[in-house]
Each structure stands twice: as C-alpha cells, then as structure tokens.
Amino acid sequence: MKILVAIKQVAARDSQFKVDASGHWVEESDLSFEINEPDAYALEEALQLKERHGGEVVALCAGPARAVSGIREALAKGADRAIHIEVEDLTQFDALGVARLLAKAAETESADLLLTGLQSDDLGYGQTGVILAELLGVPHATIIMAVEKQDGSIRVKRELENGWFQNVTLPLPAVLAVQSGISKLRYATLMGIKKAKSKEIRRLTASDLGVPPSLNIVMERVYTPEKTKRTELLDGDPKQAAAALVEKLKFEARVL
C-alpha cells in the first residue's frame, strides 16, 4: 500500500507569540518549529500500516525552507521519501489554496491512502484533508481513531461527539484526517536519523505545480484577544470563601 502523509510544520506549542510588523501574522524569527502534532499521529499511523501491510510512506509538506527540518524528522522516523512544496510565504494561500498545492503534488503519486492530521496547531482550520479529498475526487473520513485495511477498502473508527464512535468503510483511494492520541508516537532512532540523510526529498514550487497564490479569505488583522471577563475572587478562609461562593451561585448565577 502506498501512503501519502501530508504534514505541516508549526510553531512549537509552548511558544509566546508576537504579532509581526504587517499585523497579518506573527514574528517567526524567534520561534522554534515542530511537526504539527496531529500530523505526527497521521505519520505514525501510516508507518504502522506499512509495517503491517508493506508498501511505501511518502511525506508531503508545503512550507518554507525551514520546513525541511520537519521533513527530515518524518524521514528519520521511517518515511521512505518526501515531497517538499517550497512556499516561502504560506499566508499567500488559504486552506483551499494549500490543499490545491497538496492535491496537485498528490496526483503525481497515485497513492492508495492519503493521511493527514485533523487540524493544525497554528491556524486550526481543520479542513485540509476534507478539501484534498474533494479536489482529488476521492472519499474521506475524519476524526479517525483506528484504521483497518481490507481488500480494496479501508474500515476506520471515527470519533463522534459525546463519547460516540462509528465504523465507516471507504473504497480506496481515500483520504483520512487522523485524531491525536490514536497511538503512541515513536521517536526517531539514531539509525533512522542517519538513514534519513540519504532519502530523497523531491522539491517542487507552486509554479511547477501550476497553482498560483489564492486567497478567498484573508487575515486582515492578527491581535492579542482582550480579556473579556473579570473574575470575582472570593476571599477569606476556606469556609468563608465557600459560603460566599454559595451565596453567588444562589443569588447571582441562580444555579442553586
């Protein structure tokens, strides 16, 4: 089975952000970057599927030159090769624009399965997988908790709301958007890191793919949200504070 995994490199989770001079994005120079966590789970699932069923795992990433470190990490963990769509400024593409880039590159691979994380930790649009499926004309399923390969199809466990799940069968090829926590992430081994150095990274540009920058929606302004609530702190010893809280719950919040 040939599996493509779309990964994005995003600012590390614990980053402190500063809006850049343009006001449209954040200052990236002092940030550190990592593979978007849900995408790391998608990669893990792809590697496990390969271990069970054989085949090839190809990492697919759109991003600036810095994204190479994320691609190398994917290769070190076990991806066989990678495609890097070099885009210096990703803010020139919205979710549909990025999906068009990925779809064009994916078309050249004719994979059986395309995996991606459910959403990115930076923009959080959570739509890349679904749009990709539509552009490629293949079925999809999202919020995937387990994947079971069948003959010519794939059976997945989807997470629904409120603790419900559902099994869905899709014909291949298909796109799956994987939920974080689906399995335990592996670390790259020293051997893996060494091997990654000789693995192929095919470099493409947006113009190679014939996809011009496109924005149906634009981020007009990025800013720190104003704190909208003022917390009323209830002082005193635990007994006094508890009594004051019960008073508030009864007469102000009216939930008692």
Partner 1 sequence: MSSVLVVMEQNAGAWHRMSWETLAAGQEMARQLGVEINGAVVGADVSALASELASKRLNRVYAVTHDLLGQYSPDGMTAALEQLIRKTAPDFVLFPHTYQVRDFAPKLATRFGQTLVPDVIGYRLSGQDLVLVRQLFQGKLNADIRFKSDGVRFASIQAGAFRAEAVEAGQAQVETITPDLNPGLIRTKAEEPFREAARAVDLSAAELIVSVGRGIGEKENLPLVQELAEALGAELAASRPICDNGWLPMERQVGSSGQTVAPKLYLAVGISGAIQHLVGMKGAKTIVAINKDPNAPIFEVADYGIVGDLFEVVPALIEEIRKVKG
67-126 positions binding partner 1, by CB under 8 A? 94-97, 99, 121-126
Task: Find the angle CA(50)-CA(54)-CA(56) to the nearest 5 degrees.
Answer: 65
Q: Which stretch binds partner 1 (CB under 8 A): 42-50, 71-79, 158-166, 188-196?
A: 158-166
Number of chain positions touching partner 1 (CB under 8 A): 74
Q: Are 62 and 101 in contact (CB under 8 A)?
A: yes
Instruction: Please tell me what DSSP assigns to residue 55.
Output: -
Question: Which residue in 134, 149, 188, 213 binds partner 1 (CB under 8 A)?
Answer: 134
- Residues 256 and 27: their CA atoms lie apart, in Å, by 47
36-65 positions binding partner 1, by CB under 8 A: none
User: How many Cβ atoms from other residues are within 10 Å of residue 178's Cβ?
Assistant: 30
Question: Which residue in 9, 36, 116, 179 binds partner 1 (CB under 8 A)?
Answer: 179
Q: Are 53 and 149 in contact (CB under 8 A)?
A: yes
130 forms part of the interface with partner 1 (CB under 8 A):
yes
161 forms part of the interface with partner 1 (CB under 8 A):
yes
Q: Which stretch binds partner 1 (CB under 8 A): 44-52, 58-66, 195-203, 213-221?
A: 213-221
256: its two tokens = 């008692």
Q: Which is nearer to partner 1, 57 or 154 (CB)?
A: 154
29 forms part of the interface with partner 1 (CB under 8 A):
no
Q: How far apart are CB 66 and partner 1 at their closest, in Å?
A: 17
Q: Which stretch binds partner 1 (CB under 8 A): 57-65, 76-84, 192-200, 242-250?
A: 242-250
203 exposure class (CB count in 10 Å sphere: 0-12, 13-18, 19+): exposed
Q: Which is nearer to partner 1, 65 or 243 (CB)?
A: 243
230: its two tokens = 């003022």
144 exposure class (CB count in 10 Å sphere: 0-12, 13-18, 19+): buried
